[in-house]
Structure 1
Amino acid sequence: MSGKIHPLFGLWYDNKIQFAMVNQQLLTMKQPELGKVIQQHRLSMGMTQEELVERCNISVRTIQRIESGEVTPRSYTIKIIQSVLGIPLDPPLVDRSLDSIPDDFSAKDRQVFFWSAIIGLAYFILSSYEVFWELTLMADDRQQIPPYYTLLKVLVLVSYAGFAYGFYRIGQRIQNSALMFGAAALIVINAIIIGSDLYYDPSAAESQWMGIYGVVVFGISLIPFSIGLILSLKSMGEPYRIVGIVGLVTGFLFISLLLAFIGLFTWAVFDIACIYLLFRQSQGRRGN
């Protein structure tokens, strides 16, 4: 047998070695290189993004973000793309700390979640002080209104809007319209309640009735938001359902009026749990 290698066999062998080298690089590849490789394989097959989306059953926006290097895809998404394009990508090349993030959560989204959590902490402190003054004014009509009362109310409203926006953004990304509506409703209803508090004299009889009205309305506003959290179970994990249930209980306690005082404690737990969820989301983890 001749010691010479057939040209066709040599070409096949060289291609195999080159493919193995590319394969080895993929094992340690991160974004944006990963997205470029996926894009190159897609184009080499003459496939458009729309065709890849149809075969992978994921959104066009997801493919666009993966190929542009904006997000690191989950192992599940990697396996689908691997199957369709025939790229032997190994899931361990994906950053495990981001493995449970929905693909539509970018680094900018996580930054928004972080600052929403920080603003939520500020809201929790401010609202606790606000509740203290509300109870003081209701218990003693001779108590003078502090000079910073209006500023306190405005800061509570602004911080609450920033806090709730974090969940609106989550609902937007995971396409949970109930969570988006609930977060938006909380902002609007809080604006109405605080506006009424500033309009009426806290020492007047009308103000006390408005306070009762505000408690009931706020309790009602917690219901759609809490339902939105519960409906996030599939996308975001079990803690969202647990926090949503706490929110529902709090809402009904406020609506009952007789148990509203207990509702103050469950409300505190609910707010702290929501802040915790945002912090975890900012770190690239689901609740579970």
Structure 2
Amino acid sequence: MKQPELGQKILELRRQKGLTQEELVEQCNINVRTIQRIEAGEVTPRSFTLKTILNALGENLENLNDPPSHEENFIHREVGVSAFYIKLAWISGLIYFLSGFVEFAVDYARFYENELILSPAAYISMKFIVMLAYIYFMWGFVISGSLFNNYLLKIGAYFLIGTTILFYGYDMASLYFEPFYMEYVLVTQSIFCGIGSFIFGFALLRLHKPMGIVPQIAGGLEIASGVFFILIFTVLLGLIFLIPALLLQIVLLYKIESFIKMKAPEHLVS
């Protein structure tokens, strides 16, 4: 607490105790003129002097500290979440992005050319790795949503995680039974992914204040991708817009990691 608020608080505490300035001086062995100037807000006492006065008034120094700033509140909300986990998230995003091209080629051959170019075990392993990479990539945004009080970001990320688990699970399970109405499944998947991308994109736009222009561009691309997915017949355009959106989201998580390291005390950063 700074002057003049500090002096006013000491004056208030002294009166609550029913003490005169002279009586307070006797208890803490400080010059009466010093007490007068502190209460008037003319000087800021040294730490030792302030502690002595507060002890005489039965008050704790910690109780007089300034209320936490926005950045300090950020640190308290961040407790239990380290930059290490955000780093894992953007690394998972890179793995997902690079492996996605291989996955696209394999799925195109399977669903459009009716040819499985990998063994079932290899196909399931590939799908499982890509799915886990994407889930943890999105989990980085769940963590970020908590850090910045962006609940829409958490909702969008959870929606996309759920959609991924649902349809990747179907892809793996369908190896062992005849896929039914594959066209309907692909259409449903496109719509679900579009809705998730639409929500997620708007949530990214809300990160512009702490993170600058990167989330704005990423959010705009994600929204455009979501619209194209929902329209179904423009899925290819949705994929084209999704590629730079994913890259910018990886960059965004990297920036969030750096932000945490810069703002968090050393003991909170792994």
Larger radius of gyration: 2
Offset of residue 107 of structure 1: 10
Q: Percent identity?
A: 19
The letter of the residue matching 1:62 is E
Which residue among 106, 109, 122 is the counterpart of 1:136? 109
Where do 5+ consecutive residues of structure 2 fail to align?
1-29, 35-45, 262-270
Please list every run of at least 4 consecutive aligned residues from structure 1 whose deviation after the TM superposition is greater than 3 angstroms: 40-52, 55-59, 102-108, 201-205
Matched to 1:197, the amino acid is: D
Displacement of 1:235: 3.3
Q: How many residues were matched structurally?
A: 210
Q: Match for 1:212 among 187, 205, 214?
A: 187
* 2:151 corresponding residue in structure 1: 177
**Equivalent residue, structure 2, for 1:146:** 118
Q: TM-score normalized by structure 2?
A: 0.66
Query: Pick from 224, 235, 249: which aligns with 1:260?
Result: 235
- Give the one of 199, 211, 220 matched to 1:245: 220
Question: What does residue 90 of structure 2 align with?
Answer: 117
> Is the 1:119–1:163 contact (alpha carbons within 8 Å) kept by the matching residues of 2?
yes
Find the aligned partners of 1:129 and 1:110 in 2 and give their Cα distance: 30
Partner of 1:76: none
| 1:16 alignment counterpart | none
Q: Which amino acid aligns with 1:56?
A: P
Q: What is aligned with 2:141?
A: 167
Q: Deviations over 1:48-80 (max 9, x none)?
A: 65664xx53647x937xxxxxxxxxxxxxxxxx
Which amino acid in the other structure matches residue 191 of structure 2? V
Q: How do residues 1-288 of structure 1 correspond to structure 2 at under 5 angstroms?
A: 46=59, 52=65, 56=67, 58=69, 62=72, 103-104=75-76, 105=78, 109-141=82-114, 143-147=115-119, 148-201=122-175, 204=179, 206-284=181-259
Q: What is the letter of the counterpart of residue 240 of structure 1?
A: P
8 Å contact kept, 1:219–1:250: yes
Cα deviation 1:93-124 (Å, max 9, x = unaligned): xxxxxxxxx54557953222111111111111
Question: Shift in Å at residue 138 of structure 1?
Answer: 2.7
**In structure 1, distance between residues paired with 2:67 and 2:196:** 39
Deviations 1:126-181 (A, max 9, x none): 2221111122223312x135111111111111111110111111110111111111
Q: Which letter does structure 1 place at the counterpart of 2:102? A: Y
Q: Any stretches of 5+ residues in structure 1 without a counterpart?
A: 1-7, 13-22, 24-36, 64-101
Seen in structure 2, the aligned counterparts of structure 1 residues 176 and 138 have a Cα distance that, compared at 3 Å, is same
TM-score by length of 1: 0.63
1:17-62 per-residue CA deviation (whole Å, 9 max, x = no partner) reads: xxxxxx9xxxxxxxxxxxxx9xx9899864565664xx53647x93
